[in-house]
């Protein structure tokens, strides 16, 4: 599949995400999803199989994100996003979503901070891996 993203997505480390799912006109629940990749513009998730189809029908969804670090956690609550595509990979659904760009400044800042921490983690991991291969 050709890469269509404007920014490279990063592998997750210790990130938790939940999607708000409407059960009826007045009730909803938060369902945990697996984070596959992330950047401050969007992310890829693997929801439970039963949830994938309803996400596509909703079109616009709300997420709650939490990245735990050694010095605390960064959260982004009630992030609005659009479902861009759903694909089947090895019997599991993969959902690509794009964050709404008209979010509050504080929410955008949280999304960018998460990306920054993930970038630093990825660079450190690559350096450690590279150093360990050179020492072999």
3 — pLDDT class (breaks 50, 70, 90): low
* 39 has pLDDT over 80: yes
Specify the pLDDT at position 20. 92
Using the predicted structure, report yes or no on whether residue 12 has a pLDDT greater than 70.
Answer: no
Separation CA 127–CA 135 (nearest Å): 12
Nearest residue to 63 (alpha-carbon basis) of 95, 19, 104, 100: 19
CB distance 35 to 12 below 8 Å? yes
Question: What does the mean pLDDT of the chain come to?
Answer: 84
Domain boundary assignment for the chain = 10-134
The answer to whether residue 107 scores a pLDDT higher than 60 is yes
CATH 2.40.10.220 fits 10-134, yes or no: yes
pLDDT reading at 14 higher than 70: yes
Q: Tell me the pTM.
A: 0.77
Confidence of residue 135 (pLDDT cuts 50, 70, 90): low
CA atoms within 13 A on the CB side of 92: 11
Tell me the pLDDT band of 54, cut-offs 50, 70 and 90.
confident
pLDDT digits (tens, 9 = 90+) for 59-82: 789 999 999 877 778 899 999 999
């Amino acid at each position: 599949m050709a890469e269509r993203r404007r920014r490279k997505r990063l592998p997750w480390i210790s990130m938790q995400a939940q999607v708000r799912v409407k059960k009826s006109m007045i009730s909803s629940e938060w369902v945990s999803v697996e984070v596959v990749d992330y950047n401050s513009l969007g992310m890829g998730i693997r929801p439970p199989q039963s949830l994938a189809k309803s996400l596509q029908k909703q079109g616009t969804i709300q997420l709650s994100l939490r990245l735990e670090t050694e010095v605390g956690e960064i959260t982004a609550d009630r992030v609005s996003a659009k479902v861009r595509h759903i694909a089947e990979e090895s019997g599991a659904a993969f959902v690509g979503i794009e964050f709404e760009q008209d979010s509050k400044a504080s929410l955008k800042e949280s999304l960018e901070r998460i990306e920054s921490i993930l970038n630093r983690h990825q660079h450190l991991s690559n350096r450690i891996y590279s150093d360990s291969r050179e020492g072999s």
